[in-house]
Amino acid sequence: MANEGNASPGPAAIEMSRAGGAVLVVRLSGAWRLADDLPPVADVERELDREGAATVRLEASAVADWDSGLVVFVFGLLTSCRARGIAVEHPQLPGTLERMLALVQGSALPPAPPLPPGGLLDRLGVRALARREKLRAASLFVGETTLALWRMLTGRARFRGQDLGLLLEGAGPSALPIVALVNFLVGIILAFVGITQLRRFGAEYYVADIVGIAVVRDMAALITAIVLAGRSGAAYAAQLATMKVTQEVDALRTLGISPVEFLVVPRVVALTLMMPFLVLFADLMGVLGGAAVGTTMMNQALASYLRQTAHSVTTGDIIGGLVKAATYGALVALTGTARGLQAERSSEQVGVAATQAVVTGIVAIIIACGIYQYVFFLFGL
Protein backbone atom coordinates (compact mmCIF):
# COMPACT_ATOMS: atom_id res chain seq x y z
CA MET A 1 0.00 0.00 0.00
CA ALA A 2 1.42 3.34 -0.95
CA ASN A 3 1.00 5.73 1.88
CA GLU A 4 3.08 8.29 3.62
CA GLY A 5 2.34 10.53 6.53
CA ASN A 6 0.49 10.68 9.85
CA ALA A 7 -2.00 8.33 11.44
CA SER A 8 -5.32 10.20 11.27
CA PRO A 9 -5.34 12.71 8.41
CA GLY A 10 -8.44 14.68 7.37
CA PRO A 11 -10.51 13.92 4.29
CA ALA A 12 -9.16 14.57 0.81
CA ALA A 13 -9.65 18.16 -0.32
CA ILE A 14 -8.73 20.52 -3.16
CA GLU A 15 -8.07 24.19 -2.73
CA MET A 16 -7.63 26.39 -5.81
CA SER A 17 -6.10 29.84 -6.02
CA ARG A 18 -4.51 32.11 -8.60
CA ALA A 19 -0.83 33.06 -8.69
CA GLY A 20 -1.02 35.75 -11.28
CA GLY A 21 -3.79 35.47 -13.85
CA ALA A 22 -2.31 32.65 -15.88
CA VAL A 23 -1.35 30.21 -13.12
CA LEU A 24 -3.92 28.10 -11.34
CA VAL A 25 -2.55 26.61 -8.11
CA VAL A 26 -4.22 23.38 -7.07
CA ARG A 27 -3.41 22.38 -3.48
CA LEU A 28 -4.23 18.86 -2.41
CA SER A 29 -4.56 17.94 1.25
CA GLY A 30 -5.80 15.18 3.54
CA ALA A 31 -5.97 11.44 2.91
CA TRP A 32 -6.39 10.38 -0.71
CA ARG A 33 -7.51 6.80 -0.42
CA LEU A 34 -9.50 4.94 -3.03
CA ALA A 35 -12.08 3.78 -0.53
CA ASP A 36 -12.93 7.38 0.45
CA ASP A 37 -15.11 9.86 -1.39
CA LEU A 38 -12.45 11.74 -3.38
CA PRO A 39 -12.87 15.10 -5.14
CA PRO A 40 -13.20 14.63 -8.90
CA VAL A 41 -10.93 16.14 -11.56
CA ALA A 42 -14.07 17.83 -12.90
CA ASP A 43 -13.83 20.37 -10.03
CA VAL A 44 -10.54 21.65 -11.48
CA GLU A 45 -11.85 21.41 -15.04
CA ARG A 46 -14.80 23.63 -14.15
CA GLU A 47 -12.41 26.26 -12.83
CA LEU A 48 -10.33 26.00 -16.01
CA ASP A 49 -13.47 26.35 -18.13
CA ARG A 50 -14.55 29.39 -16.12
CA GLU A 51 -11.38 31.42 -16.18
CA GLY A 52 -8.78 29.44 -18.11
CA ALA A 53 -5.07 29.18 -17.30
CA ALA A 54 -1.76 28.82 -19.09
CA THR A 55 -0.27 26.69 -16.27
CA VAL A 56 -1.60 24.53 -13.50
CA ARG A 57 0.67 24.19 -10.49
CA LEU A 58 -0.06 21.07 -8.48
CA GLU A 59 0.97 21.08 -4.81
CA ALA A 60 0.64 17.94 -2.71
CA SER A 61 2.79 18.73 0.30
CA ALA A 62 -0.29 18.66 2.58
CA VAL A 63 -1.29 15.18 1.43
CA ALA A 64 -0.91 12.99 4.50
CA ASP A 65 -1.81 9.55 3.22
CA TRP A 66 -2.51 8.23 -0.22
CA ASP A 67 -2.87 5.22 -2.46
CA SER A 68 -4.01 4.70 -6.06
CA GLY A 69 -6.81 7.22 -5.45
CA LEU A 70 -4.32 10.11 -5.59
CA VAL A 71 -2.56 8.67 -8.63
CA VAL A 72 -5.87 8.37 -10.47
CA PHE A 73 -6.65 12.01 -9.68
CA VAL A 74 -3.23 13.37 -10.67
CA PHE A 75 -3.10 11.26 -13.81
CA GLY A 76 -6.62 12.42 -14.76
CA LEU A 77 -5.65 16.05 -14.19
CA LEU A 78 -2.46 15.68 -16.27
CA THR A 79 -4.42 14.08 -19.11
CA SER A 80 -7.12 16.74 -18.99
CA CYS A 81 -4.58 19.61 -18.98
CA ARG A 82 -2.62 18.03 -21.82
CA ALA A 83 -5.83 17.84 -23.88
CA ARG A 84 -6.44 21.57 -23.22
CA GLY A 85 -2.86 22.57 -24.00
CA ILE A 86 -2.23 23.67 -20.42
CA ALA A 87 1.20 23.16 -18.86
CA VAL A 88 1.34 21.39 -15.50
CA GLU A 89 3.99 21.98 -12.86
CA HIS A 90 4.19 19.53 -9.98
CA PRO A 91 7.32 20.35 -8.02
CA GLN A 92 6.29 18.88 -4.66
CA LEU A 93 4.77 15.53 -5.42
CA PRO A 94 5.89 12.59 -3.26
CA GLY A 95 8.76 10.67 -4.86
CA THR A 96 6.84 7.42 -5.14
CA LEU A 97 3.93 9.23 -6.81
CA GLU A 98 6.35 10.74 -9.33
CA ARG A 99 7.65 7.23 -10.07
CA MET A 100 4.14 5.90 -10.58
CA LEU A 101 3.27 8.77 -12.91
CA ALA A 102 6.45 8.12 -14.85
CA LEU A 103 5.44 4.47 -15.23
CA VAL A 104 1.95 5.40 -16.35
CA GLN A 105 3.10 8.03 -18.80
CA GLY A 106 5.72 5.68 -20.20
CA SER A 107 3.01 3.24 -21.17
CA ALA A 108 2.91 3.02 -24.97
CA LEU A 109 -0.43 3.45 -26.66
CA PRO A 110 -1.09 0.60 -29.10
CA PRO A 111 -3.41 0.79 -32.08
CA ALA A 112 -6.95 0.84 -30.75
CA PRO A 113 -9.12 -2.22 -31.37
CA PRO A 114 -11.64 -1.80 -34.21
CA LEU A 115 -14.68 0.13 -33.10
CA PRO A 116 -18.06 -1.59 -33.36
CA PRO A 117 -20.10 -0.24 -36.28
CA GLY A 118 -22.64 2.37 -35.30
CA GLY A 119 -25.66 2.38 -37.63
CA LEU A 120 -28.48 -0.14 -37.92
CA LEU A 121 -27.50 -0.95 -41.50
CA ASP A 122 -23.89 -1.46 -40.43
CA ARG A 123 -24.92 -3.83 -37.66
CA LEU A 124 -27.21 -5.72 -40.05
CA GLY A 125 -24.36 -6.02 -42.51
CA VAL A 126 -21.94 -7.25 -39.86
CA ARG A 127 -24.49 -9.84 -38.71
CA ALA A 128 -25.13 -11.00 -42.26
CA LEU A 129 -21.40 -11.38 -42.88
CA ALA A 130 -20.98 -13.26 -39.61
CA ARG A 131 -23.90 -15.55 -40.56
CA ARG A 132 -22.37 -16.18 -43.97
CA GLU A 133 -19.04 -16.99 -42.32
CA LYS A 134 -20.75 -19.47 -39.98
CA LEU A 135 -22.53 -21.12 -42.90
CA ARG A 136 -19.25 -21.36 -44.78
CA ALA A 137 -17.54 -22.84 -41.72
CA ALA A 138 -20.36 -25.37 -41.30
CA SER A 139 -20.13 -26.41 -44.97
CA LEU A 140 -16.37 -26.73 -44.66
CA PHE A 141 -16.76 -28.83 -41.54
CA VAL A 142 -19.24 -31.20 -43.21
CA GLY A 143 -16.98 -31.45 -46.27
CA GLU A 144 -13.86 -32.08 -44.19
CA THR A 145 -15.66 -34.69 -42.11
CA THR A 146 -16.94 -36.48 -45.21
CA LEU A 147 -13.43 -36.61 -46.66
CA ALA A 148 -12.00 -37.73 -43.33
CA LEU A 149 -14.62 -40.50 -43.09
CA TRP A 150 -13.65 -41.61 -46.56
CA ARG A 151 -9.98 -41.64 -45.55
CA MET A 152 -10.94 -43.71 -42.53
CA LEU A 153 -12.86 -46.21 -44.66
CA THR A 154 -9.84 -46.51 -46.95
CA GLY A 155 -7.51 -46.90 -43.94
CA ARG A 156 -5.70 -43.59 -44.43
CA ALA A 157 -7.09 -41.55 -41.53
CA ARG A 158 -4.89 -40.70 -38.55
CA PHE A 159 -6.60 -41.53 -35.26
CA ARG A 160 -5.97 -43.79 -32.29
CA GLY A 161 -7.85 -47.08 -32.18
CA GLN A 162 -7.91 -47.04 -28.40
CA ASP A 163 -9.68 -43.67 -28.48
CA LEU A 164 -12.36 -45.16 -30.71
CA GLY A 165 -12.74 -48.09 -28.31
CA LEU A 166 -13.24 -45.75 -25.35
CA LEU A 167 -15.67 -43.62 -27.33
CA LEU A 168 -17.69 -46.68 -28.36
CA GLU A 169 -17.85 -47.76 -24.74
CA GLY A 170 -18.84 -44.25 -23.61
CA ALA A 171 -21.50 -43.82 -26.29
CA GLY A 172 -22.98 -47.31 -26.00
CA PRO A 173 -22.80 -49.49 -22.88
CA SER A 174 -22.36 -46.54 -20.51
CA ALA A 175 -25.57 -44.99 -21.82
CA LEU A 176 -27.68 -48.14 -21.38
CA PRO A 177 -29.14 -47.37 -17.92
CA ILE A 178 -30.42 -43.89 -18.80
CA VAL A 179 -31.65 -45.04 -22.22
CA ALA A 180 -33.49 -47.96 -20.59
CA LEU A 181 -35.14 -45.79 -17.96
CA VAL A 182 -36.27 -43.04 -20.30
CA ASN A 183 -37.63 -45.38 -22.97
CA PHE A 184 -39.42 -47.56 -20.43
CA LEU A 185 -41.17 -44.43 -19.12
CA VAL A 186 -41.98 -43.27 -22.65
CA GLY A 187 -43.58 -46.70 -23.28
CA ILE A 188 -45.70 -46.22 -20.17
CA ILE A 189 -46.74 -42.70 -21.22
CA LEU A 190 -47.68 -43.84 -24.74
CA ALA A 191 -49.71 -46.72 -23.33
CA PHE A 192 -51.63 -44.44 -20.98
CA VAL A 193 -52.38 -41.96 -23.76
CA GLY A 194 -53.35 -44.85 -26.08
CA ILE A 195 -55.69 -46.50 -23.62
CA THR A 196 -57.38 -43.22 -22.73
CA GLN A 197 -58.11 -42.38 -26.36
CA LEU A 198 -58.86 -45.90 -27.65
CA ARG A 199 -61.28 -46.57 -24.80
CA ARG A 200 -63.63 -43.97 -26.34
CA PHE A 201 -64.04 -46.29 -29.33
CA GLY A 202 -63.89 -49.50 -27.33
CA ALA A 203 -60.58 -50.31 -29.01
CA GLU A 204 -58.20 -50.25 -26.06
CA TYR A 205 -57.12 -53.76 -26.95
CA TYR A 206 -55.06 -52.18 -29.76
CA VAL A 207 -52.82 -50.29 -27.35
CA ALA A 208 -50.07 -52.89 -27.89
CA ASP A 209 -50.14 -52.12 -31.63
CA ILE A 210 -49.96 -48.38 -31.11
CA VAL A 211 -47.19 -48.50 -28.52
CA GLY A 212 -45.22 -51.07 -30.52
CA ILE A 213 -45.37 -49.21 -33.82
CA ALA A 214 -44.77 -45.75 -32.27
CA VAL A 215 -41.82 -46.95 -30.24
CA VAL A 216 -40.14 -49.04 -32.92
CA ARG A 217 -40.71 -46.68 -35.87
CA ASP A 218 -39.94 -43.36 -34.19
CA MET A 219 -40.06 -42.78 -30.48
CA ALA A 220 -37.20 -45.02 -29.36
CA ALA A 221 -34.80 -43.51 -31.88
CA LEU A 222 -36.00 -39.95 -31.21
CA ILE A 223 -35.91 -40.18 -27.42
CA THR A 224 -32.58 -42.00 -27.37
CA ALA A 225 -31.07 -39.43 -29.71
CA ILE A 226 -32.28 -36.57 -27.50
CA VAL A 227 -30.82 -38.29 -24.45
CA LEU A 228 -27.51 -38.72 -26.27
CA ALA A 229 -27.53 -35.09 -27.45
CA GLY A 230 -27.60 -34.04 -23.79
CA ARG A 231 -25.10 -36.68 -22.78
CA SER A 232 -22.56 -37.40 -25.51
CA GLY A 233 -23.12 -34.34 -27.74
CA ALA A 234 -22.56 -31.89 -24.88
CA ALA A 235 -19.56 -33.90 -23.66
CA TYR A 236 -17.96 -33.89 -27.12
CA ALA A 237 -18.43 -30.14 -27.44
CA ALA A 238 -16.96 -29.48 -23.99
CA GLN A 239 -14.00 -31.80 -24.62
CA LEU A 240 -13.09 -30.22 -27.93
CA ALA A 241 -13.66 -26.66 -26.74
CA THR A 242 -11.39 -27.32 -23.76
CA MET A 243 -8.78 -28.76 -26.09
CA LYS A 244 -8.96 -25.52 -28.06
CA VAL A 245 -8.47 -23.45 -24.91
CA THR A 246 -5.44 -25.51 -23.89
CA GLN A 247 -4.05 -25.38 -27.46
CA GLU A 248 -4.23 -29.17 -27.84
CA VAL A 249 -6.02 -28.69 -31.14
CA ASP A 250 -3.26 -26.35 -32.32
CA ALA A 251 -0.72 -28.99 -31.28
CA LEU A 252 -2.46 -31.54 -33.52
CA ARG A 253 -2.50 -29.15 -36.47
CA THR A 254 1.17 -28.29 -36.10
CA LEU A 255 1.98 -32.00 -35.99
CA GLY A 256 0.23 -32.28 -39.34
CA ILE A 257 -2.70 -34.23 -37.90
CA SER A 258 -6.14 -33.10 -38.96
CA PRO A 259 -8.27 -32.42 -35.85
CA VAL A 260 -11.27 -33.57 -37.88
CA GLU A 261 -9.65 -36.96 -38.53
CA PHE A 262 -8.26 -37.34 -35.04
CA LEU A 263 -11.13 -35.96 -32.98
CA VAL A 264 -14.30 -35.74 -35.05
CA VAL A 265 -14.28 -38.96 -37.06
CA PRO A 266 -13.91 -41.35 -34.10
CA ARG A 267 -16.79 -39.63 -32.31
CA VAL A 268 -19.03 -39.67 -35.37
CA VAL A 269 -18.23 -43.33 -35.98
CA ALA A 270 -18.77 -44.23 -32.32
CA LEU A 271 -22.22 -42.64 -32.07
CA THR A 272 -23.34 -43.76 -35.54
CA LEU A 273 -22.40 -47.36 -34.76
CA MET A 274 -23.72 -47.47 -31.22
CA MET A 275 -27.04 -45.71 -31.78
CA PRO A 276 -28.74 -48.60 -33.63
CA PHE A 277 -27.76 -51.00 -30.84
CA LEU A 278 -29.02 -48.58 -28.21
CA VAL A 279 -32.27 -48.14 -30.13
CA LEU A 280 -32.81 -51.89 -30.40
CA PHE A 281 -32.51 -52.01 -26.63
CA ALA A 282 -34.71 -48.92 -26.35
CA ASP A 283 -37.37 -50.64 -28.52
CA LEU A 284 -37.48 -53.50 -26.06
CA MET A 285 -37.69 -51.19 -23.04
CA GLY A 286 -40.42 -49.07 -24.66
CA VAL A 287 -42.50 -52.13 -25.45
CA LEU A 288 -42.00 -53.42 -21.89
CA GLY A 289 -43.14 -50.04 -20.58
CA GLY A 290 -46.31 -50.34 -22.65
CA ALA A 291 -46.71 -53.92 -21.50
CA ALA A 292 -46.47 -52.83 -17.86
CA VAL A 293 -49.53 -50.61 -18.40
CA GLY A 294 -51.33 -53.06 -20.70
CA THR A 295 -51.04 -55.96 -18.30
CA THR A 296 -51.99 -53.98 -15.19
CA MET A 297 -54.67 -51.65 -16.60
CA MET A 298 -56.34 -54.03 -19.03
CA ASN A 299 -55.50 -57.31 -17.34
CA GLN A 300 -54.01 -58.52 -20.61
CA ALA A 301 -51.55 -61.41 -20.29
CA LEU A 302 -47.93 -60.45 -20.93
CA ALA A 303 -47.49 -63.15 -23.58
CA SER A 304 -50.62 -62.00 -25.37
CA TYR A 305 -49.46 -58.35 -25.25
CA LEU A 306 -46.05 -59.23 -26.66
CA ARG A 307 -47.58 -61.50 -29.33
CA GLN A 308 -49.85 -58.69 -30.44
CA THR A 309 -46.90 -56.28 -30.56
CA ALA A 310 -44.87 -58.73 -32.65
CA HIS A 311 -47.83 -59.15 -34.97
CA SER A 312 -48.24 -55.42 -35.56
CA VAL A 313 -44.60 -54.38 -35.85
CA THR A 314 -43.00 -55.24 -39.19
CA THR A 315 -39.36 -55.82 -40.04
CA GLY A 316 -39.57 -52.63 -42.09
CA ASP A 317 -40.57 -50.68 -38.98
CA ILE A 318 -37.56 -52.03 -37.12
CA ILE A 319 -35.12 -51.35 -39.97
CA GLY A 320 -36.57 -47.88 -40.50
CA GLY A 321 -36.07 -47.13 -36.81
CA LEU A 322 -32.49 -48.33 -36.94
CA VAL A 323 -31.70 -46.26 -40.04
CA LYS A 324 -33.08 -43.21 -38.29
CA ALA A 325 -31.05 -44.10 -35.20
CA ALA A 326 -27.80 -44.18 -37.15
CA THR A 327 -28.64 -40.84 -38.76
CA TYR A 328 -29.47 -39.22 -35.44
CA GLY A 329 -26.27 -40.59 -33.93
CA ALA A 330 -24.21 -39.05 -36.71
CA LEU A 331 -26.07 -35.73 -36.32
CA VAL A 332 -25.51 -35.60 -32.55
CA ALA A 333 -21.80 -36.32 -32.97
CA LEU A 334 -21.41 -33.85 -35.83
CA THR A 335 -23.16 -30.99 -34.06
CA GLY A 336 -21.31 -31.68 -30.80
CA THR A 337 -17.86 -31.79 -32.38
CA ALA A 338 -18.60 -28.84 -34.68
CA ARG A 339 -19.67 -26.67 -31.76
CA GLY A 340 -16.58 -27.72 -29.83
CA LEU A 341 -14.20 -26.84 -32.65
CA GLN A 342 -15.99 -23.55 -33.35
CA ALA A 343 -15.50 -22.37 -29.75
CA GLU A 344 -13.28 -19.40 -29.02
CA ARG A 345 -10.26 -19.80 -26.76
CA SER A 346 -11.93 -18.97 -23.46
CA SER A 347 -13.29 -21.03 -20.59
CA GLU A 348 -16.73 -19.42 -20.90
CA GLN A 349 -16.91 -20.67 -24.47
CA VAL A 350 -16.64 -24.26 -23.24
CA GLY A 351 -20.01 -23.91 -21.54
CA VAL A 352 -21.46 -22.05 -24.51
CA ALA A 353 -20.26 -24.80 -26.87
CA ALA A 354 -21.86 -27.52 -24.73
CA THR A 355 -25.18 -25.66 -24.58
CA GLN A 356 -25.16 -24.95 -28.30
CA ALA A 357 -24.31 -28.58 -29.03
CA VAL A 358 -27.40 -29.79 -27.19
CA VAL A 359 -29.72 -27.23 -28.78
CA THR A 360 -28.33 -27.67 -32.30
CA GLY A 361 -28.30 -31.45 -31.90
CA ILE A 362 -31.94 -31.62 -30.86
CA VAL A 363 -33.03 -29.25 -33.63
CA ALA A 364 -31.09 -31.31 -36.19
CA ILE A 365 -32.68 -34.53 -34.90
CA ILE A 366 -36.21 -33.10 -35.11
CA ILE A 367 -35.61 -31.78 -38.65
CA ALA A 368 -34.23 -35.16 -39.73
CA CYS A 369 -37.21 -36.89 -38.13
CA GLY A 370 -39.59 -34.67 -40.09
CA ILE A 371 -37.76 -35.39 -43.35
CA TYR A 372 -37.85 -39.15 -42.66
CA GLN A 373 -41.58 -39.01 -41.92
CA TYR A 374 -42.23 -37.30 -45.24
CA VAL A 375 -40.00 -39.63 -47.25
CA PHE A 376 -41.43 -42.77 -45.59
CA PHE A 377 -44.96 -41.48 -46.21
CA LEU A 378 -44.12 -40.70 -49.83
CA PHE A 379 -42.89 -44.25 -50.45
CA GLY A 380 -45.66 -45.85 -48.41
CA LEU A 381 -43.21 -47.29 -45.87
Partner 1 sequence: MAEAILGVRDLTMAFGDRVVMEHLDIRIEPGEIYVVMGGSGCGKSTLLRHMLGLQEPASGEVFYGGESFTRAGASDRERMLRRVGVLYQGSALWTSMTLAENVALPLQQFTKLRPERIREVVELKLALVGLHGFEEYYPWELSGGMQKRAGLARAIALDPEILFIDEPSASLDPPTGRRLDRLILEIRDALHTTVVVVTHDVACILGIGTRALFLDGESRRSIAEGPPGELRVSGPEAVRAFFAGGILP
Task: Please report how close the Cβ of residue 107 comes to partner 1 at its closest, in angstroms.
Answer: 4
196 binds partner 1 (CB under 8 A): no
* Residues 6+ away with beta carbon under 8 Å from 4: 64, 65, 66, 94, 96
* Residues 6+ away with beta carbon under 8 Å from 297: 191, 192, 195
x-or-dash pattern for partner 1, window 219-258, by CB under 8 A? --------------------------x-------------
Q: Which of 347, 367, 374, 381 lies at the binding interface for partner 1 (CB under 8 A)?
A: 347
Q: Tell which residue, 116, 97, 113, has the closest CA to residue 105.
A: 97
Task: Please report how close the Cβ of residue 131 comes to partner 1 at its closest, in angstroms.
Answer: 22
Q: Which of 124, 345, 370, 371 lies at the binding interface for partner 1 (CB under 8 A)?
A: 345
User: CA-CA distances (angstroms) from residue 8 to 31, 50, 60?
Assistant: 8, 35, 17
Q: How many degrees, rounded to 5, is the angle at CA 65 between CA 60 and CA 70? A: 60
2 binds partner 1 (CB under 8 A): yes
Task: Please report how close the Cβ of residue 100 comes to partner 1 at its closest, in angstroms.
Answer: 4
Nearer to partner 1, 31 or 325 (CB): 31
346 binds partner 1 (CB under 8 A): yes
Q: Which of 24, 100, 263, 362 lies at the binding interface for partner 1 (CB under 8 A)?
A: 100
| Residue numbers 32-51 binding partner 1 by CB under 8 A | 34-35, 38
Looking at the chain, how many residues does it have? 381
Q: Are 183 and 215 in contact (CB under 8 A)?
A: yes
Q: Are 92 and 2 in contact (CB under 8 A)?
A: no
| Residue numbers 108-167 binding partner 1 by CB under 8 A | 108-113
Nearer to partner 1, 84 or 345 (CB): 345
88 binds partner 1 (CB under 8 A): no
Q: Residue 26: in which H helix or E strand, if any?
A: strand 23-32
- How many Cβ atoms are within 10 Å of 353's Cβ, its own excluded? 27
Query: Cα(329)–Cα(327) distance, rounded to whole angstroms?
Result: 5
Nearer to partner 1, 14 or 211 (CB): 14
Q: Are 56 and 77 in contact (CB under 8 A)?
A: yes
Please give the residue ranges that form the binding site for partner 1 (CB under 8 A): 1-3, 34-35, 38, 67-68, 71-72, 75-76, 96, 99-100, 103-113, 245, 344-349
